[in-house]
Each structure stands twice: as C-alpha cells, then as structure tokens.
Structure 1
Amino acid sequence: MEHDALATAKQLVTRLFPDCEAALLAGSIVRGEATETSDLDLVVFDNNIMSSYRKSLMENGWPVEIFVHSLTSYQAYFDSDCQRGRPSLPNMVAEGIVLKDNGMIESIKHEARLLLQKGPAEWSAKEAEQKRYFLTDVLEDFLGCSNRAEELFIANALAEQLSEFVLRVNRQWTGSSKWMVRALKRYDDEFAGRFIEAFESYYRTAEKEEVIQLTDAVLNKHGGRLFDGFTIGKESREQ
C-alpha cells in the first residue's frame, strides 16, 4: 500500500506541479496507520502560485488532498496553527516523505519541528478564564438536561471543550475528531483512559456521574466552576 501510495503521489506531483520547488507525502500512510478509507495528503511548495489553496481529487483509486503553498505563504499557516493550538500543517511537513526537493525542504522541516517542540501559544489569563466559564456553562447544561436527544449533543460539546481545556492550559497541542483523543493520549495516557471511560460509560448507560466528576476534577485545579462575577465584552469597574 505504501509503495502504491508513494508512486501515485510522485506521479501527481510530476503531472500537476512540474515546476514546484518541493513536495511531501504526509498523513496516515506515512505514519503506518492507513485504513481502507485513508487518503493521500500532499504538501506542495510552488512559488508560481498567486495564493495558497487546497485541492481534492481522485488518482489511481486514491482520494488525494493537496495543500499548495509558496515558499513564504506557509509561514502564515504555521502561525495560525500555533495560535489555534492545532498543528495541522507543521505536522504534515515534519512527518512528510520528500517527493521532490530543490534544496530548501530540510529548512522548512526544521522550522516545523521547532514549532511542534515549542508547543502552542500560551492562553492569556483572560482566555483561560473565558474557557473555564464556557466549560462550566456546558457542564451545567449537561447536568440540567432531561431530553436524551439534546443531551447527546451537549455531551459531544462537553467532551470537545473539556479536552481542549486540559490540553491548552498545559501548553499542549490539541485537535478535533480522532486527533482529540490522540492528543490526550500523548499528553497523559492515564487521564485519556479516564476520559474515554467516562464518556463511553455515559453513552452506553446514560449515567452522567463519571463525566461530571471528571469535569469538576479538571475545573477544580483551576478555581472550580465559574459563573458569578464573570464578564466579557467590557472591563468591570470598582465603585
């Protein structure tokens, strides 16, 4: 599978980007985690383009996602990923197998590795307070809800906000979907196990207690639930 993927990726780069400066194959194929529905992720550096873009296509039976950047535009995406805490492009660049290189790819890979090692931008005290407030809000919704259909979607939101809070207050990269649990496991495998067990138990039995206890345990390390006195949108003034 990997050989076929590599051949297909090289073929695509030669046909679609013959004058590009560099190209990489990234994603699950490279990590040895491919499934029957896996696609090929290509990162192309081409100074002939006007602006960065993303393109999806089928090639030799493979779904392919192509991320095209110039030799300067990728830096804005690196910065954006660091701010939001999800290192999509740095990960692809750091792990990618070189398909073509006119001599600059190692410096870009080095830049990506340094960003990954450094971790995401640190939340300010105000950002952490806001996230704590919103996590409290969704927890209260979860506690008070008696409509099973609505409760399922509240639980989904709670899982996402809880995982983000745990990771970001500890200067760790986060993610969405499957990357959320992978990020938790990289940070703290024991906590990830408790997180999975709590939500799995809720979805299976509709019992909320494990999820509530887990969320409160996280919040209590940072001051507990937050509602009274919280403001957003203006500065509070002492009278």
Structure 2
Amino acid sequence: MEESKRLSPLEAAKQFVDTYFPNCQGALLSGSVVRGEATTTSDLDIVVFDDQLPSPFRESLLEFGWAIEVFAHNFTTYKQFFQSDCERARPSLPKMVSEGIVLVDKGCIEAIKKEANQLLEIGPEPWSEETIQLKRYFITDALDDFIGSTDRAEEIFIANTLAEIVHEFVLRTNCRWAGSSKWVVRALKQYDEQFAQEFVAAFDLFYQTGQKEKMIKLVDQVLKPYGGRLFAGFSIGRN
C-alpha cells in the first residue's frame, strides 16, 4: 500500500484490535509512533489484555498497510512479564504500557498503567557490592583485551562488548534502567545527556579511525569512583 493511502497508526491499530481481538478487555498502541520517533521502517507495537488467553504470545503481522507487533497477555501473565523485565532492569513491557495510547478499555487500563508507572518510578533493584566488583572485573578484562589487541576485526567486537557492559555499569550503579540496541543510547540520554554524548563520541572515534585512547579514558573514568580497574585480588567461588 502506498504511504499516502496507508491508514494512520491509530486507525490501523484500532482496526487491527477490532478484527483480531474483539473481546479483549484492553489494548494500547505503543512504540515509536506514539513517542513521535517513527522512521520509515517503524512498526506498530500493540499491547493486548485478554483474560481468556491461556498464555501470552508475541506475533508479527503485516496488516492494514503496517508491520504490526502484538504483545498479548492475560491478567496474570502481564504481571509476570512486568516482574521479569524489572529483574533484568530492562522494563520493556512496563514502558510500552506506560506510554501507550488507549485503543480499548473495558475498565482495566487505568490500574495496569498505574502499576507500570509505579514500577518505572521505583527503578531497578540496586546492585550489591559483590555484583559491582564482579562487573568491574569483567569490564577490566574486556578493556585489557581491547588495549592489547592488534587485530582490527577482533577490536571491533571487543568494543561492542565494552559498549554493552559499560553502559550497563553506569546505569545500574546509579539505579537506572538499562537498555539494549538503540535503547542503550536512549537510556544513557535519560540519565545524563552530556555523558551520553561523550560515550557515543568515544566509540564513534574508535569505529571511524581505530583510535582507542578516548574509549580507554572513558572506561577508566567510569570505573574510578568504584576503585578503578580490578584484576589482582579478584576471586569468586573460593571457599
């Protein structure tokens, strides 16, 4: 379907729910189209609550001129997903519910949104001192590999690992939600816009030129308040 003839996101979402989930108790349109961040490849994220569903499921379809991802739950499973998302500090479903535009509401959405907002406001469980030391060690190990590597291909993937674990360290030690993929940068920006810019600049410089110094300095700055790099003296599992 041509872009100009395609249904609006909201209308397409409403028609989708009316067609495939006519008896649901609630439904929300979420994702990039709601946040005003849609691109030419964006899909519609639709969260459905239907207490007749025996189990949750996620499904991708092409309908009404849109790519659609549906996240379907009953009134027990969404709570389980809320909990598991929060335990891993990546609250995907709570965020979708919190930001979602109501498509259908037969009396359940207000309470579910309130639950999601409360979880997001509380933030993830703080890391223990043992976890912080373990993460310091893993970051140090990856950084040492990065510094010592002379293989460009290997360096690229070590840098990828550092981006993931350093971003997680920064956010979790500050009791903030972490991210993955594009949400790495978004989560960092929500925490500290200036740091996010420095983080991206350091990795971008390496990827473009191979220069490592800025990345190394950034990682050391992140570790410094927690004692810096950790290798000698680290132990795990020893009685």
TM-score by length of structure 1 reads 0.95
Whether 1:120 aligns to 2:124 is: yes
Instruction: Give RMSD over aligned pairs.
Output: 1.3
Whether 1:229 aligns to 2:233 is: yes
Whether 1:22 aligns to 2:26 is: yes
Q: Tell me which residue corresponds to 1:47.
A: 51
* Letter aligned with residue 47 of structure 1: D
Q: Answer whether contact 2:27 2:48 (CA < 8 A) is retained.
A: yes
Secondary structure of 2:226's partner?
A: coil
- CA distance in structure 2 between the aligned counterparts of 1:46 and 1:228, rounded to whole angstroms: 54
- CA distance in structure 1 between the aligned counterparts of 2:83 and 2:206, rounded to whole angstroms: 37
The one of 206, 230, 233 equivalent to 1:202 is: 206
Whether 1:7 aligns to 2:11 is: yes
Whether 1:215 aligns to 2:219 is: yes
* Letter aligned with residue 101 of structure 1: D
- The alpha-carbon deviation at position 61 of structure 1 amounts to 2.3
Q: Tell me which residue corresponds to 1:153.
A: 157
1:127-167 CA-to-partner distances (Å, cap 9, x unmatched) read: 11111111111111101100001100111111111101000
Q: Answer whether contact 2:7 2:65 (CA < 8 A) is retained.
A: no
1:161-210 CA-to-partner distances (Å, cap 9, x unmatched) read: 11010000000011011100011111011111111111111111111000
Unmatched 5+ stretches in structure 2: none
Q: Tell me which residue corresponds to 1:168.
A: 172
- The alpha-carbon deviation at position 231 of structure 1 amounts to 2.1
- The alpha-carbon deviation at position 3 of structure 1 amounts to 6.5
- CA distance in structure 2 between the aligned counterparts of 1:166 and 1:45, rounded to whole angstroms: 35
Secondary structure of 2:214's partner?
A: helix
The one of 48, 65, 71 equivalent to 1:67 is: 71
Paired residue total = 235
- CA distance in structure 1 between the aligned counterparts of 2:234 and 2:57, rounded to whole angstroms: 40
Q: Answer whether contact 2:59 2:71 (CA < 8 A) is retained.
A: yes
- CA distance in structure 1 between the aligned counterparts of 2:71 and 2:77, rounded to whole angstroms: 11
Runs of 4+ in 1 over 4 A off after TM superposition: none
Secondary structure of 1:216's partner?
A: helix
- The alpha-carbon deviation at position 82 of structure 1 amounts to 1.0
* Letter aligned with residue 18 of structure 2: T
Q: Tell me which residue corresponds to 1:32.
A: 36
- CA distance in structure 2 between the aligned counterparts of 1:87 and 1:3, rounded to whole angstroms: 30
Whether 1:133 aligns to 2:142 is: no
- The alpha-carbon deviation at position 235 of structure 1 amounts to 4.1
- CA distance in structure 2 between the aligned counterparts of 1:134 and 1:50, rounded to whole angstroms: 41
- CA distance in structure 1 between the aligned counterparts of 2:111 and 2:132, rounded to whole angstroms: 34
- The alpha-carbon deviation at position 4 of structure 1 amounts to 1.0
1:32-73 CA-to-partner distances (Å, cap 9, x unmatched) read: 111100000000001111111101100122111100111121
The one of 72, 85, 100 equivalent to 2:89 is: 85
Q: Answer whether contact 2:7 2:64 (CA < 8 A) is retained.
A: no
Q: Tell me which residue corresponds to 1:99.
A: 103
TM-score by length of structure 2 reads 0.95
